[in-house]
Amino acid sequence: MSDIGRERRRRWAEEQLAGLPHLSAPQRRFLSVPLMESGWQLLVHRSGVLRGRPVAFAVGRTGVYALVFTDDIPEIEQLRRIRRYAEETFGGLLLGRRQYVPHMLEVMLLMGKAVRTQAHDPYLAVDETTMRSTLLNGEQKLTPQRARDCVAAVLARDQQYSWISTANAPRAEITSADGLFGVEELREDERTRVLRRPFEEWMTFLDPDQLGYVSVNFNGPARFSGPAGTGKTVVALHRMARFAKNNPGKLLFTSFVKTLPAHHQSGFARIAERHADRAEFIGLHAWAMRFLNRRRVKFDLAEDGQVVTAFARAWSAGRHELSRIPDTDRNYWEDEVKRVIKGRGIDSFDDYEKISRPGRDGVRLSGPRKKLVWDNFYLPYQARLAEKNLDDFNDIVRKAIAELRIRPLVGAEKFGMVVVDEVQDFTLQELRLVLEIAGGGSEAQLLLVGDGQQQVYSGGWKLSDAGIPLAGRGRVLRTNFRNRAAILRYAKRIEAADTVDDLDGGTGFVLRDSDGVLDGGTVIEKSIPRADLDTELVRAITESGMTASNCAVLVNTNHEAAHYQQVLESAGLSALLLEHYNGTQHSAIEVGTVYRAKGLDFAAVFRIAEPIPRGNNPADRDRAELLARQHLVAVTRARDYLWVGLVGD
């Protein structure tokens, strides 16, 4: 904006504020700051400064700010009253089918001389020199149209505010010298381009049901469940943001999928910028190893090859005996050790003999058969690790639990809130670990997020088995917000557990019963000879017209992922393995397994899948259902476009 244009804008702002005689000159100078910028709306209370209430609201690209004139930092109770009143003013604003998320607003103290604020402070403190940069520097949360819609919705139900919109300000005159724009014009043009960028509305607007789950108060561990695409993780991130804005202390977001926390860290930073450094996003195994190192607890994690060798030795020792149990192979018994025996923390045969095996009871194990497994596979595997003084991940978890029970987290180590995503694929021991991290007991601020229908690992449990008391603190999300209609219809046809539990033994809610809100979408399914898969995949991606950075190729194994990455790169397409993805923007097609894709979504998914075999015996049915759940997870990652290549002759 030229000097002439800025002067015209300043005079316009003064004229608008002159109509509010209860404001002092310094107060008018403060309120003129947002009026000097494009895309901002100002609501000013007609009654002047009211104790315990904001005098005005500034609404623009970086969000909603409740403005409070003060000489000193108010007491905490007064700050809470101010925030409560501000959230009530903007709460319940229904725009289309979504509501503004009131905890997204910030309380801004307008002071003669600003004080330094900390990340945990429930306010921003600015003076006339810092107010502008504070308003403008931040992630985009509202488009200009959404900002106007919010203000109009407030005025529609509350007439005690005057509305001043910069849409009515005089337009800047474009002047040039020697054919070049001035610096200020270029900055203004850049701000305009930023305002036009697309952004994710889930940051600022949620479905009313989702918003209700964000704000409900729990006095202990809680669980959010629901089918794919219902926004469970979005709600969990907003609960973290709301907690951070109202409470001190650190926050932890963890998952069994090691790359998933890094992906969601960027989302949290967008909805709670000032509190991002208080939140830790890390895979559970990585957290446990760092914790043990900090506590100087000795461990030596076995490399993948060493674990493979240990299981190979165990299979050599027990193959003859275990082959007598039908419908099993080496992979089956490896899962039995990882997910059932060590995953449940079992260290004696008597305990193993007593347990049930949810999700694996297609292969029935009597006491004598369990004895075969224990003596001929589990014990040889353990002996090999002990021989090399090695620990596997189950041992890391066990040691972390033992250390926490002896010396719980205290002081700066403690977390005020712990969120666990994709909890359905945790082992029982991992559940016990996150409960200990959250402080244990019935008052732990622990939120578990998951969906039994999306379980992609064998073996099961109930939350109560881990000593996690829910006591009615479970909620189910039922509306699909991710998948367009065609993709949702396709996913509903997949026979992936028509009945699932709610992660604690009750009846769950499946995708087939959910309702979608998005129309359209494209689904292509083809049966392709194995020899033609590489060519057909490249052709499908090229003909889709989808942007590479919005595409993912999802397969079942790491070997397949490496192969298709090479196929795409040989065809001149940029490809990135999902295991290397950290949530930042890039221009490559992502390639990875269903396991790595859990919790993520993409505009387009290209899925390579084997037809799901069907058998009559219980073991075949267990295997078929697990494969079907994996396929369901893969296809529901797609928002707009889904291509499925079924391997066949």
pLDDT in tens, 282-318: 999 999 999 999 999 999 999 999 999 999 999 998 9
Higher per-residue confidence, 2 vs 62: 62
Cα-only R_g, the chain: 28
Q: Are 494 and 632 in contact (CB under 8 A)?
A: yes
Half-sphere exposure of 43 (CA within 13 A, CB side): 24
Residues 542 and 441 in one domain: no
Domain boundary among 166, 181, 201: 201
Alpha carbon distance 41, 36 (integer Å): 11
- Supply the pLDDT for residue 489: 95
Residues 228 and 249 in one domain: yes
- Supply the pLDDT for residue 464: 79
Half-sphere exposure of 420 (CA within 13 A, CB side): 31
63-90: string of b/e by CB count within 10 Å (b at 16+)?
bbbbbbbbeeebeeeebeebbeebbebb
Residues 341 and 455 in one domain: no
Region 109-125 average pLDDT: 86
SS3 assignment, position 95: strand
- Supply the pLDDT for residue 107: 95
Domain boundary among 201, 216, 242: 201
Residues 552 and 593 in one domain: yes
> What's the structural domain count of the chain?
4
Q: At a CB cut-off of 8 Å and minimum separation 6, what does 60 contact?
A: 34, 37, 39, 40, 41, 135, 142, 147
- Supply the pLDDT for residue 638: 96
**Per-residue confidence band for 66, with pLDDT thresholds at 50, 70 and 90:** very high
What are the DSSP calls for 143-181, one per residue? -HHHHHHHHHHHHHH--SEEEEEGGGSPPPP--EETTEE
- The phi and psi torsions of 279 (rounded to 5 degrees) equal -105, 135
Q: Is residue 30 domain-resident?
A: yes
Region 610-617 average pLDDT: 74
Domain boundary among 355, 390, 425: 390
- Give the residue numbers of the binding site for ATP: 226-233
Q: Is residue 468 domain-resident?
A: no
Domain with 340, as residue range(s), is 304-390
**Per-residue confidence band for 121, with pLDDT thresholds at 50, 70 and 90:** confident
For residue 178, give the amino acid letter.
Answer: D
pLDDT tens per residue across span 230-255: 999 999 999 999 999 888 899 999 99
- Supply the pLDDT for residue 506: 63
Residues 452 and 571 in one domain: no
**Does the pLDDT value for residue 149 go beyond 90?**
yes
- Supply the pLDDT for residue 198: 44
**Does the pLDDT value for residue 196 go beyond 70?**
no
Q: Are 235 and 477 in contact (CB under 8 A)?
A: yes
pLDDT tens per residue across span 70-106: 999 999 899 999 999 999 999 988 888 889 999 999 9
Give the count of beta carbons closer than 10 Å to the beta carbon of residue 326.
8
Alpha carbon distance 263, 281 (integer Å): 9
Q: At a CB cut-off of 8 Å and minimum separation 6, what does 342 contact?
A: 392, 394, 395, 398, 427, 429
Q: Are 325 and 371 in contact (CB under 8 A)?
A: no
**Does the pLDDT value for residue 62 go beyond 80?**
yes
**Per-residue confidence band for 119, with pLDDT thresholds at 50, 70 and 90:** low
- Give the residue numbers of the binding site: 226-233
Region 323-336 average pLDDT: 89
pLDDT tens per residue across span 151-171: 999 999 988 999 999 999 987
Higher per-residue confidence, 263 vs 623: 263
363-383: string of b/e by CB count within 10 Å (b at 16+)?
bebeeebbebbbebbbebbbe
Length in residues, the chain: 649
Residues 375 and 433 in one domain: no
Residues 276 and 173 in one domain: no
**Does the pLDDT value for residue 553 go beyond 50?**
yes
For residue 644, give the amino acid letter.
Answer: V
Q: Is residue 163 domain-resident?
A: yes
- Report the percentage of the chain scoring pLDDT > 70: 90
